């Protein structure tokens, strides 16, 4: 037994995050920690990594009592953690980030050569040595950033590496690199605690697993003796018979059309027509320019070239319609349109990175949910708190936004929610608005199995109600399960969309990697 | 036994959590109470006399008004270094208008609207040129001071106050007002500001911009427009402060309120405002302003030298920020 945690409890004010958790990890094993959003996985691992201290319970590391004094203390005892919400210094380069806090020194000076060497070795173990040249990590996408975090943990010579949803923003290729690294860690006798909402990954990489539910450990066992439906039953308490619920919907007239749209760097060229009542998937490798396309469409980044048209939908509430400055706004615009104009036109965006762009973490859950359409519930410029609470109640119900407390506190800062629950708030804001084109960038990132199914059903219902959905995802099964058509982006160029019936995981991958074009 | 210990433990942690959080709200109150108690002990008759309390209240008005505007600015993640100069500029404009023979109403309106205009210019420069507020307002601080001196011909502008001085009279007329009308103005505007900040769409947008500007932009908040409004509002308060400064001095002094911007920022920070944006409150800022006024007054009364007073204020600012940091550390481990 390398690690034994027993009877761990943790409260945050009225919220009971952990109420008696046991976890046992063997040397050299990959131990999966699974459970619904808010079950307490991240909290338990923060306790292990010395970030939080438990209210009660005892921990033993290799037989000796383990009481880490802060993250550095835990690191010194061989525990490295990769957090769910990435912790990188944006303005520093990859090398500096990897050695941050443990910079190699020579005569008291930063020894850059040694640092580069150390970083290179770690990145090579992940198969991404070229990242070593990066000068500013803020310029990297979420995938490479995640790998930098992993590389950072690799340089720690840890006995246990904790990975909190490491693949939620990784491409398949990067996931393979990560798995290879995990296997190597295992061979070196290092244990890995692996948190993920992708059960197929768990079945593939893990040796044993522990299930948390409502702050308790409810089950533990060997992966070889279980199956995906069994894991789901342990997590949710019931079986999910239909992962991709089918809601009948039929495409109507065009709502959004792009012709030869180009951004400053990405996308290079994108033409597309999105119809009413249609779910159109966008697939591509990370860095292919899918997010950039959505950003350009939504007016976050400038349009350098091409034409974006949003059809006018009759019957939209007149109150916001007067916000549209000129008829030109619905037509072409070389500079693109500001987000507020797009919103007024009925186009909304869910960004891929809720922490930097999507949620105001210090503000309340209720404010975050309604931030984009406060005026809808306002009278004479006064925000109606009752209206905000009512909206939150509704979406908390539908999407199962929960905390361990008795009821969701609308006035709690959104940053105190678990990662998946934060994502649900960001998504709920979009769903709560009166819009008809939804640009969704990885909407199910970090969301548990049960809620994912609920979100797929909601997306289907939106389409049935005549909305148009542009669905960016790196998770092929959900694209194939939810979309009507899928278009693939390759190095900034959008390939023609094809009906989902003609596509498979294999054809999508070939298109995405620039193989034979269909 | 174990269970008993456990509940006690967790109760203890929540209690200490709450204590730290309360300290944040109570901190300014406690500091104010402490200062009052201290000087009340040192010089009971003089410090607590009605006349002296009225004096302190009147002295708070200028910094207090500035702090109201600064609260919005700081919550939105900005800073306004130009308030001190704007106060001088607006008081000179008021005096010049009176000297030119305009009525008191016109003079006051001119003074206040110049403040709004200057604030709007700050906002437009910040959003239009995408320069950080610190630099823009550092520039306009110099420009406004220079303009004030130019308009006043580098000397004090004498003008008949035409009854305006009553606004800042320590013994107001009618007597049932108890304190100068300017003090009531400050309190009334503070209530309105608090309501605007906490209850209106504009207030929530202000918090959102300070908390995460990218998110605010994504949510369709018109960030630039809101910022211009915020700085214009700060200008409005500076303009009012300028007019009242004239009423107090009954001359338009272009060198007045030198360095007042730092007192004003200090009041906001003592009151819980964070220069990183996203937090702060009107009540806190007001208490911060009163705290500094009481401190200055008490030190003068008891003959404590000026430098001691400066050291104390400095220490209070650091303590206020330290408490804030402690609280944030607890909240987001
Ligand atoms: N700093 C905090 N303050 C208050 N409550 C918190 C805080 N951190 C976590 N919680 C609460 O503790 C509970 C467990 O959260 P945790 O982040 O451990 O969940 P999780 O299992 O990691 O979920 P997810 O799959 O969504 O990441 C949640 O109800 C959350 O709201
Ligand atoms: Mg988590």
Identify the bridge partners of residue A309 per DSSP, sorted by sequence position: A257
Q: Are residues A222 and A312 in the same domain?
A: no
Burial of B205 (0-12, 13-18, 19+ CB in 10 A): buried
Residues A378 and A500 in one domain: no
Specify whether the CB–CB gap between B237 and B136 falls below 8 A: no
What is the predicted pLDDT for the residue at B269?
92
The enclosing H or E element of A469 equals strand A468-472
Helix (H, G, I), strand (E, B) or coil at B255: coil
As for how many domains chain B has, the answer is 1
- What order of strands is seen across the sheet that includes strand A160-164? A79-82, A160-164, A191-195, A30-35, A208-213, A216-222
What's the first-to-final CA gap in chain A, in angstroms? 53
Substitution target from A353, A357, A364, A439 for chain B, most B beta carbons within 10 A = A357
Q: Is the peptide bond before A190 cis (omega within 30 degrees of 0)?
A: no
Among residues B145, B148, B127, which one has the least CA distance to residue B81?
B145
Chain B: give the shortest CA distance to residue A369, in Å. Answer: 10
Distance CA(A111)–CA(B83), nearest Å, equals: 47
CB–CB contacts below 8 A, A to B:
95
Kindly give the distance from the C-alpha atom of residue A389 to the centroid of ligand 1, in angstroms, as a whole number: 21
pLDDT at residue A299, rounded to an integer: 92
Reported ipTM: 0.89
Q: Tell me, what's the pLDDT at A489?
A: 95
Question: Do A423 and A439 share a domain, yes or no?
Answer: no
Tell me, rounded to whole angstroms, the distance of Cα B168 from its chain centroid: 18
Q: Determine whether the shortest distance from the Cβ of A35 to ligand 1 is under 6 A.
A: yes
The CATH code of the domain that includes A60 is 3.40.50.300
Q: Which of A417, A444, A447, A451 to mutate to test the pocket of ligand 1 (most atoms within 8 A of CB)?
A: A417
Per-residue pLDDT band for B310 (boundaries 50, 70, 90) equals confident
Domain boundary among A415, A433, A451: A433
Same domain flag for A215 and A278: no
Residue in A with minimal Cα distance to B217: A339
A40 lines ligand 1 (CB under 6 A): yes
Measured CA to CA, the distance from residue A2 to residue A28 in angstroms comes to: 9
Residue B8 placed within a domain:
no
In tens, the pLDDT along B263-284 reads 999 999 999 899 999 999 999 9
What is the distance between the alpha carbons of residues A281 and A274, in angstroms, rounded to a whole number?
Answer: 10
Average pLDDT over residues B19-41: 82
Closest CA to B260 of B101, B121, B141, B129: B141
B318: CATH: 1.10.3470
In a domain, A241, yes or no: no
Contact of A490 with A516, CB cutoff 8 Å: no
Establish if A457 belongs to a structural domain: yes
Same domain, yes or no, for A61 and A111? yes
CB of A44 within 8 A of CB of A34?
A: no
What are the residues of chain A with a beta carbon less than 8 Å away from any beta carbon of chain B? 9, 11, 13, 46, 51-52, 55-56, 298, 300, 338-340, 342-344, 349, 351, 356-363, 367, 371-372, 374-375, 378, 381-383, 413, 415-416, 429
Single residue among A433, A457, A482 that ends a domain in this structure: A433
Q: How far apart are the first and last CA of chain B?
A: 30
Tell the burial category of A444 from Cβ atoms under 10 Å away from its Cβ (0-12, 13-18, 19+).
buried
Per-residue pLDDT tens, chain A, 518 aa: give them: 899 999 999 998 888 999 999 999 999 999 999 999 999 999 999 999 999 999 999 999 999 999 998 888 999 999 999 887 767 888 889 999 888 878 888 888 888 888 999 999 988 887 788 888 888 888 887 678 878 888 888 888 889 999 999 888 787 877 888 898 899 889 888 999 999 999 999 999 999 999 999 999 999 999 999 999 999 999 988 888 888 998 999 999 999 999 999 998 899 999 999 999 999 999 998 788 999 999 999 999 988 889 889 988 765 543 343 334 333 434 434 445 799 999 999 999 999 989 889 999 999 999 999 999 999 999 999 999 999 999 999 999 999 998 766 778 899 999 999 999 999 999 999 999 989 999 999 999 899 999 999 999 999 999 999 999 999 998 999 999 999 999 999 999 999 999 999 999 999 999 998 875 44
What's the gap in Å between the CA of A34 and the closest CA on chain B? 23
Report whether residue A42 contacts ligand 1, using a CB cutoff of 6 Å. Answer: yes
Q: Annotate A363-414 with DSSP letters as a single string.
A: SBHHHHHHGGGGGGGEETTEE-HHHHHHHHHHHHHHHT---SSSS--TTSBG
Do A60 and A152 sit in the same domain of this protein?
A: yes
pLDDT of residue B281: 94
Does some domain include residue A449? yes
Angle at A315 between CA A311 and CA A318, to 5 degrees: 100
Torsion of CA A237, A238, A244, A250, to 10 degrees: -110
| Count of structural domains, chain A | 3
In a domain, A26, yes or no: yes
Integer angstrom CA distances of residue A92 from A135, A473, B84, B171, B298: 7, 29, 38, 60, 49
pLDDT at A129: 87
Is residue B14 in some structural domain? no
pLDDT of residue A194: 97
Instruction: Cis check for the bond before A267: say yes or no (omega within 30 of 0).
Output: yes
Q: Do residue A340 and residue A385 come from a single domain?
A: no
What is the model's pLDDT at position A314? 64
From the list A393, A386, A392, A342, the residue with the least C-alpha distance to A368 is A392
On the question of pLDDT at B103 being above 50, the answer is yes
CB-nearest to A381 from B9, B200, B279 is B200
A161 falls within a domain: yes
- Is there a single domain that holds both residue A27 and residue A116? yes
Residue A504 lies in a domain: yes
A404 and A441 part of one domain? no
Instruction: Take atom 27 of ligand 1 and give the residue whose Cα is closest.
Output: A419
Of A51, A367, A371, the CB nearest to B333: A51
Determine the pLDDT at residue B333. 39
User: Which of A356, A362, A383 faces B204 most closely, judged by CB atoms?
Assistant: A383
- Distance (Å) from the C-alpha of residue B113 to the closest C-alpha of chain A? 23
Looking at the structure, tell me whether residues A203 and A291 fall in a common domain: no
A451 lines ligand 1 (CB under 6 A): no
**Averaged pLDDT for residues B31-45:** 89
Examine the domain organization and report whether A384 and A366 are in the same domain. yes
What atom of ligand 1 comes closest to residue A418's alpha carbon?
17
Q: Cα of A40 to ligand 2 centre, how many Å?
A: 7
| Neighbour tally for A139: CB within 10 Å | 11
Helix axes B223-249, B104-128, angle to 10 degrees: 150
Contact at CB, B215 and A357, closer than 8 angstroms: yes
Q: Is A15 in the pocket of ligand 1 (CB under 6 A)?
A: yes
Residues A318 and A362 in one domain: no
CA-proximal residue: ligand 1, atom 12 (nearest): A17
Q: Which two tokens stand for residue A515?
A: 């193989």
Atom of ligand 1 nearest to the CA of A405: 29
Contact B204 A374 (CB under 8 A): yes
Whether B119 shows a pLDDT value over 90: the answer reads yes
* A242 occurs within a structural domain: no
Distance in angstroms (rounded) separating the CA atoms of residues A11 and A16: 4
Q: Does residue B21 lie within any of the structural domains?
A: no
Containing structural domain, residue B164: 38-331
Domain ranges, residue A291: 252-346+434-518
- pTM of the model as a whole: 0.90
Q: Best of A11, A17, A419, A446 to mutate for ligand 1, by most ligand atoms within 8 A of CB? A: A17
Residue after which a domain boundary falls, among A386, A404, A433: A433
What's residue B329's pLDDT?
61
Q: Residue A475 in contact with residue A175, Cβ under 8 Å? A: no
pLDDT of residue B169 exceeding 80, the answer is yes
> Which neighbouring-strand residues pair with A5?
A23, A59
- Alpha helices by DSSP H, listed for A70-227, are 70-76, 94-99, 112-125, 142-154, 172-187, 199-205
The angle at the Cα of A21, spanning A17 to A24, to the nearest 5 degrees, equals: 140
**Closest CB to B211 among A51, A340, A363:** A363
Long-range contacts, B112-116 (Cβ 8 Å, 24+): B112/B236, B112/B239, B112/B240, B112/B242, B112/B243, B113/B239, B114/B89, B114/B90, B114/B239, B115/B86, B115/B89, B115/B90, B115/B235, B115/B236, B115/B237, B115/B238, B115/B239, B115/B240, B115/B242, B116/B232, B116/B235, B116/B236, B116/B239
Residue A167 is encoded by which pair of tokens?
């693949």
Q: Is the CB of residue A342 less than 8 Å from the CB of residue A397?
A: no
Is B278's CB within 8 Å of A360's CB?
Answer: yes
Q: Counting beta carbons within 10 angstroms of the beta carbon of residue B63, is it exposed (0 to 12), middle (13 to 18) or buried (19 or more)?
A: buried
Distance separating alpha carbons of residues A101 and A129, to the nearest angstrom: 21
């Amino acid at each position: 037994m390398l690690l034994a945690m027993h009877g761990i409890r943790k409260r945050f004010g009225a919220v009971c995050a952990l109420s008696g958790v046991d976890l046992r990890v063997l040397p050299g094993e990959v131990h999966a920690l699974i459970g619904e959003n808010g079950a307490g996985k991240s909290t338990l691992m923060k306790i292990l990594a010395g970030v939080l201290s438990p209210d009660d319970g005892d921990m033993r590391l290799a037989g000796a009592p383990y009481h880490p004094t802060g993250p550095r203390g835990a690191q010194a005892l061989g525990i490295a953690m990769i957090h769910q919400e990435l912790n990188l210094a944006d303005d520093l380069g990859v090398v500096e980030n990897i050695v941050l806090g443990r910079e190699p020194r020579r005569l008291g000076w930063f020894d850059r050569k040694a640092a580069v060497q150390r970083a290179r070795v770690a990145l090579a173990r992940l198969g991404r040595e070229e990242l070593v040249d990066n000068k500013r990590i803020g310029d990297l996408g979420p995938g490479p950033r995640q790998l930098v975090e992993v590389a950072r943990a690799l340089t720690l010579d840890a006995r246990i590496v904790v990975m909190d949803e490491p693949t939620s923003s990784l491409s398949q290729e990067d996931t393979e690199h990560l798995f290879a690294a995990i296997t190597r860690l295992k061979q070196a006798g290092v244990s890995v605690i692996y948190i993920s909402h992708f059960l197929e990954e768990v079945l593939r990489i893990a040796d044993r697993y522990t299930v948390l539910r409502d702050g308790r450990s409810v089950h533990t066992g060997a992966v070889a003796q279980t199956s995906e439906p069994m894991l789901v039953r342990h997590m949710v308490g019931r079986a999910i018979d239909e992962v991709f619920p089918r809601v009948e919907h039929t495409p109507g007239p065009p709502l959004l059309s792009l012709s030869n749209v180009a951004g400053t760097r990405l996308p290079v060229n994108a033409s597309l027509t999105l119809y009413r009542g249609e779910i159109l998937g966008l697939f591509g490798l990370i860095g292919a320019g899918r997010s950039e396309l959505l950003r350009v469409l939504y007016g976050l980044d400038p349009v350098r070239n091409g034409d974006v048209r949003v059809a006018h939908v009759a019957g939209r509430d007149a109150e916001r319609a007067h916000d549209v400055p000129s008829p030109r706004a619905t037509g072409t615009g070389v500079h693109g349109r500001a987000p507020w104009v797009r919103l007024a036109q009925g186009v909304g965006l869910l960004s891929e990175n809720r922490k930097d762009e999507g949620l105001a973490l210090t503000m309340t859950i209720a404010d975050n949910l309604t931030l984009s359409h406060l005026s809808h519930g306002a009278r004479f410029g006064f925000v109606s708190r009752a209206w905000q609470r009512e909206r939150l109640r509704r979406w908390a119900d539908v999407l199962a936004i929960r905390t361990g407390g008795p009821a969701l506190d609308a006035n709690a800062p959104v940053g105190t929610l678990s990662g998946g629950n934060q994502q649900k708030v960001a998504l709920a804001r979009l769903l709560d608005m009166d819009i008809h084109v939804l640009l969704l960038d990885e909407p199910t990132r970090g969301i548990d199995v049960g809620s994912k199914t609920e979100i797929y059903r909601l997306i289907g219902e939106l389409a049935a109600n005549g909305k148009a959905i542009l669905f960016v995802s790196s998770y092929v099964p959900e694209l194939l399960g939810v979309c009507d058509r899928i278009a693939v982006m390759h190095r900034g160029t959008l390939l023609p969309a094809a009906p989902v019936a003609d596509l498979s995981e294999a054809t999508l991958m070939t298109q995405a990697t620039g193989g034979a074009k269909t | 036994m174990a269970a008993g210990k456990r509940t006690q433990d967790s109760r203890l942690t929540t209690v200490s959590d709450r204590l730290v959080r309360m300290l944040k709200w109570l901190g300014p109150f406690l500091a104010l109470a402490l200062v009052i108690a201290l000087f009340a002990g040192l010089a009971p008759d003089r410090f607590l006399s009605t006349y002296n309390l009225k004096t302190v209240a009147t002295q708070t008005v200028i910094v207090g008004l500035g702090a109201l505007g600064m609260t919005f600015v700081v919550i939105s993640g900005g800073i306004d270094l130009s308030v001190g100069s704007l106060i001088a500029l607006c008081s000179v404009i008021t005096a010049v208008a009176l000297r030119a023979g305009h009525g008191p109403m016109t003079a006051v309106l001119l003074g206040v609207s110049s403040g709004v205009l200057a604030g709007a210019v700050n906002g437009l420069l910040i959003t239009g040129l995408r320069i950080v507020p610190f630099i823009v307002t550092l520039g306009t601080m110099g420009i406004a001071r220079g303009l004030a001196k130019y308009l006043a011909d580098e000397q004090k502008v004498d003008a008949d106050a035409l009854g305006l001085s009553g606004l800042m009279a320590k013994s107001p007329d009618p007597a049932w007002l108890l304190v100068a009308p300017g003090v009531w103005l400050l309190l009334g505007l503070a209530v309105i500001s608090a309501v605007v900040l906490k209850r209106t769409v504009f207030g929530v947008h202000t918090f959102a911009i300070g908390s995460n500007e990218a998110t605010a932009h994504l949510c369709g908040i018109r960030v630039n427009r809101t910022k211009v409004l915020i700085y214009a509002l700060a200008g409005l308060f500076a303009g009012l402060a300028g007019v009242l400064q004239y009423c107090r001095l009954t001359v338009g002094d272009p060198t007045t309120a030198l360095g007042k911007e730092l007192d004003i920022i200090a009041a906001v920070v003592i009151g819980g405002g964070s220069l990183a944006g996203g937090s702060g409150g009107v009540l806190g800022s007001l208490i911060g302003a009163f705290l500094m006024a009481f401190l200055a007054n008490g030190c003068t009364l008891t003959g404590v030298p000026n430098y001691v007073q400066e050291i104390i204020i400095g220490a209070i600012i650091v303590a206020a920020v330290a408490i804030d940091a402690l609280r944030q550390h607890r909240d987001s481990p």
